[in-house]
A = this chain, B = another copy of it.
């Protein structure tokens, strides 16, 4: 009787959206490489030689998760990991040729998948979809890193 309607719960919707995406990715893009793994490859195409922590920041993965993802990509021979000679704490990451090839191949398939995924929305609705989700996610992330920009202390 006191039960709630989950279809008005953003968390529940977000989970369902992600599940739906996961399934489509699996059938249309790759069964080997996951979406987060592709995000890492993509970050290293944009900025080769990044360290692990920074890659994680770029794609939104925490220190533990990025370590696992990178170790899997390393095992598959898609990237190399070398100690930074300037700073012995860091590992510098760089895609192998195989990693670059994989990224190229998946980029094409991902574009196709995104079209199918977003097909139920018109072009304007798609921009709105992106914007609304981004605003909510950004705001929620902001709640964690309490103030740092703006508002100079007097």
Contacts and interface: CB of A to CB of B under 8 A. Distances in A.
Given A9-B110, A35-B12, A130-B8, A136 B2 contact: no
- In the assembly, how many copies of this chain are there? 2
A3 interface: yes
A10 B129 contact: yes
B15 A140 contact: no
B23 A140 contact: yes
Given A12-B39, A13-B133, A140-B24, A107 B6 contact: no
A60 B141 contact: no
B107 A2 contact: yes
Given A16-B133, A17-B137, 10 more contacts: A2-B103, A4-B42, A13-B130, A14-B133, A15-B18, A20-B137, A20-B141, A23-B144, A24-B143, A133-B133
